[in-house]
């Protein structure tokens, strides 16, 4: 986990590179890059507060789904390089603006720099680790004491699907173990129903994938008392999907209803779900850098 070594172990890709001079599969080297920071009004109600979630979008991604909704950011096409000290200043700015939390979006490959920043200044609002779920346990163990809320995706159950859309046959195996670690964080809400500690899993329903979504919910039901889940309908065709005709449409009302009915049948009460109208590119942020 030391970026001075020539072997980066910050995610399960385990690139054998020197990040001082080379970029890994995440598309990043040792430079800390961000695309945007702002008060984000469209997170789950328990993370948004009155003024929004203090969201920081980090550039690059170690998972690189073909349908990525934040494509220019995940591919490190956009963004600007900042120092650890500038990241500290952003924490302070967001906190002063009344952010409900500091929401670190796709932080995995910058976890060393983020820990350095949080060692300099730990905000007095929850720190949210917002991840695709493809995480190394030892990295989570290292950052855990700085994190209040985990916000992991759980994208696929099927190895065939995860291989097809993210190039990782072992996605569920890795992500489910990571989430089992995360849910040890106790669930705590304040009197305004704001999440102060705990884990909120996100699952985006994809076109033609209701069977896979049901398997995700079956698995989630084994931890349903220790975490929340959001079932998301907002999939919007985007990214590198020319070779994936099935991804060139939004999900249908029927597909979403199948998944939500199944969620209800499993008696999963710690759940949020979206309106089907959420599938709109207005929810995709405009990048600042």
Binding site for ligand SF4 (CB under 6 A): 8, 10-11, 13-15, 19, 24-26, 62, 109
Beta carbon of residue 75, minimum distance to ligand SF4 (angstroms, whole number): 13
β-bridge mates for residue 128, sequence order: 103, 149
Q: Which is nearer to ligand SF4, 11 or 217 (CB)?
A: 11
- Alpha carbon distance 82, 62 (integer Å): 20
Beta carbon of residue 32, minimum distance to ligand SF4 (angstroms, whole number): 13
Burial of 68 (0-12, 13-18, 19+ CB in 10 A): buried
Q: Which is nearer to ligand SF4, 9 or 221 (CB)?
A: 9
- Alpha carbon distance 273, 185 (integer Å): 22
Q: Which is nearer to ligand SF4, 40 or 109 (CB)?
A: 109
Pair 237, 280: CB distance under 8 Å: no
- Chain-centre distance for alpha carbon 265: 27
Closest CA to 121 of 88, 146, 158: 88
Pair 46, 195: CB distance under 8 Å: yes
Beta carbon of residue 163, minimum distance to ligand SF4 (angstroms, whole number): 17
Q: Which is nearer to ligand SF4, 77 or 264 (CB)?
A: 77
Residue number with the smallest Cβ distance to ligand SF4:
24
**Per-position b or e across 112-123, b if 16+ CB within 10 A of its CB:** bbbbebbeeeeb
Beta carbon of residue 114, minimum distance to ligand SF4 (angstroms, whole number): 13
Q: Which is nearer to ligand SF4, 66 or 266 (CB)?
A: 66
Beta carbon of residue 115, minimum distance to ligand SF4 (angstroms, whole number): 14
Q: Which is nearer to ligand SF4, 63 or 100 (CB)?
A: 63
Beta carbon of residue 7, minimum distance to ligand SF4 (angstroms, whole number): 8
Rounded-to-10 torsion of CA 23, 154, 198, 9: -30
Beta carbon of residue 83, minimum distance to ligand SF4 (angstroms, whole number): 19
- Alpha carbon distance 199, 180 (integer Å): 10
Q: Which is nearer to ligand SF4, 11 or 125 (CB)?
A: 11
């Amino acid at each position: 986990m030391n970026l001075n070594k020539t072997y980066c172990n910050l995610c399960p890709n385990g690139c054998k590179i020197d990040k001082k001079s080379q970029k890994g599969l995440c598309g990043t080297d040792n430079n800390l890059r961000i695309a945007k920071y702002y008060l984000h009004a469209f997170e789950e109600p328990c993370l948004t507060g009155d003024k929004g979630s203090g969201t920081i979008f980090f550039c690059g991604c170690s998972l690189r789904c073909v349908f990525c909704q934040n494509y220019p950011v995940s591919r490190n096409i956009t963004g600007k390089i900042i120092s650890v000290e500038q990241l500290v200043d952003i924490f302070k700015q967001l906190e002063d603006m009344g952010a409900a939390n500091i929401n670190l979006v796709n932080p995995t490959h910058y976890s060393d720099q983020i820990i350095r920043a949080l060692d300099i200044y730990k905000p007095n609002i929850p720190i949210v680790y917002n991840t695709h779920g493809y995480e190394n346990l030892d990295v989570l163990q290292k950052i855990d004491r700085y994190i209040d809320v985990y916000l992991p995706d759980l994208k696929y159950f099927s190895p065939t699907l995860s291989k097809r859309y993210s190039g990782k046959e072992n996605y569920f195996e890795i992500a489910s173990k990571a989430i089992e670690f995360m849910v040890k964080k106790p669930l705590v809400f304040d009197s305004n129903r704001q999440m102060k500690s705990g884990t909120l899993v996100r699952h985006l329903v994809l076109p033609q994938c209701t069977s896979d979504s049901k398997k995700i919910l079956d698995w989630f039901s084994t931890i349903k008392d220790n975490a929340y889940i959001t079932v998301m309908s907002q999939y919007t065709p985007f990214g590198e999907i020319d070779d994936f005709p099935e991804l060139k449409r939004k999900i249908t009302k029927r597909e979403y209803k199948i998944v939500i009915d199944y969620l209800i049948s499993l008696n999963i009460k710690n759940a949020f779900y979206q309106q089907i109208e959420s599938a709109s590119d207005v929810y995709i942020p405009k990048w600042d850098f």
